[in-house]
């Protein structure tokens, strides 16, 4: 979850990270799909300021996404 509590990041077996809205006015709209891995994404985390998202994959790579174009 983003530091401001407005976005949830999910990881998946298809190598994608998805960003979902999370607030009182919305029931979970898909905001953006981030690509960058060739295998299952096993973990995701936001930086403390919410401007960076880092993900780790079974393909032994770490991807980072800066200012990922939401909000």
User: What digits encode the pLDDT tens for the residues 17-43?
Assistant: 999 998 777 778 999 999 888 899 999
Q: Which domain holds residue 16?
A: 7-66
Query: Across all residues in the chain, what is the average pLDDT?
Result: 88
Mean pLDDT, rounded, for 44-49: 94
Question: Is residue 71 one of the residues assigned to a domain?
Answer: no
% the chain with pLDDT above 90 = 59
Query: What phi and psi values does residue 40 have, to the nearest 5 degrees?
Result: -55, 135
Whole-model pTM: value is 0.84
Cα separation, 69 vs 71, whole angstroms: 7
Q: How far is C-alpha 32 from the chain's CA centre?
A: 8
Residue 1 belongs to a domain: no
Rounded percentage of the chain residues whose pLDDT exceeds 70: 94
Q: What is the mean pLDDT of residues 11-21?
A: 93
Q: What span, in angstroms and rounded, lies between the C-alpha atoms of 52 and 2?
A: 10
37 burial via Cβ count (<10 Å: 0-12, 13-18, 19+): buried
| Total number of domains constituting the chain | 1
């Amino acid at each position: 979850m983003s530091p401001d509590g407005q976005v949830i990041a999910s990881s998946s077996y298809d190598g994608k990270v998805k960003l979902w809205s999370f607030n009182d006015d919305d029931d979970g709209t898909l905001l953006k799909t981030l690509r960058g891995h060739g295998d299952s994404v096993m973990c995701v985390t936001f930086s403390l300021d919410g401007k960076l998202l880092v993900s780790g994959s079974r393909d032994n790579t770490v991807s980072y996404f800066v200012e990922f174009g939401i909000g």
